[in-house]
Structure 1
Amino acid sequence: MIAKVNLLPWREEGRKRYRQRFGFMLAGAAAMVVVLIGLVGWLLDWQQGIQSGRNARISQEVTMLEEKLALLPEMDAQREALLKRLSVITDIQQGRNHITQLLSLLPGLVPQGVYLDDISLTGNNVKLSGKGESNGHLAILLANAEQSAWIEGITMHSIVRAKEETTLIRFKASFVINPVQQAHRNEGGGQ
């Protein structure tokens, strides 16, 4: 009976099932590849959308910063104008201090017997002209100026006996109010 058993159809049927199973697996793999490619494409589109949003946000921020940077030259010009105004105000304030300082120095500087006709203040430079009863009184004026910590560079420019007044001597002098002493006084609270 074994000789009558034909195994060819059974083998043929096994091969047919094997081919069908291989076809299903191949179709399944192809479907998986298609799904996987679709999923990767969707993921890349999603990431691209997120990156596009980020790029748009960065572009918007860059535009805002460029607008702000465009204002910098105008702000620098305003700053320079304010600094100039502040400088003018500081100069005026220092000028007030020089006048006050000069007026507070003069009573201790000018002795009796010396009479001032003209006082001019330009910055820190002071020019005096007047009359004195004697050379001794003018020497006291110079000595007082040299002893003052507030005055430097005292110079007597001329001493002339007035022709119309034989008792008085005309003089012209100049000195500089010491800006270092002025600064120390301002820092020390006006002492």
Structure 2
Amino acid sequence: MAAKAPDYQPVKRRGHSTVRVGDYLYMWGGDQPDLPEVHDNEKKKSMCSVMEVCHLRTGRWEQKPTTGNPPLGVRGYAAAAIGREIFYFGGYCNHDVCYHNSLYSFNVDTFKWKELSPTTSHHGPMMKHHCDMIAIKVNGEDYLVVIGGYGPSSNNIPKQPGAQYSEGLIPGNQQCNEIHFYKLSTDWLH
């Protein structure tokens, strides 16, 4: 009798998120073995162009390819789902002090990435990781709310009025209590 092949299991990782949509868990990114410590290259893009999917009813994992360009902030990003879309904000790029404040969507039906708001140090939330994001509905409109975070103090301007910033554990970094809203129907971030 032949031995049964073991079921697929994702590689070990940290700094990732797992989001539930329907009967599935979607796990992406994180610090994984052999993840290049560079801004972007073919190996990093290849590793980040897959989604780990777990069917909750069976407990089986599978790795599925994605299309489009995935976020560069692969560690410590925030994630939340609205309907059949998972949204990813910010994150650490896995090299130097490269943090992001971009917003991406991932469609669980098409497995396609879409950049909604690019990374910039001139507007929006500070470039950061270890923040959180929730999805809310206000007067029938879908919003994403990005809260707090940790990132460099040198290139994050302007600061959000009324928010508090304090020196982080690593010199040159800061933590904050910023709260930003992203209105999905208008691609409006404030």
Q: Same fold (TM over 0.5)?
A: no
With structure 2 as the length reference, what TM-score do the two structures score?
0.29
Larger radius of gyration: 1
Normalized per residue, the structure richer in strand is 2
More helix by share: 1
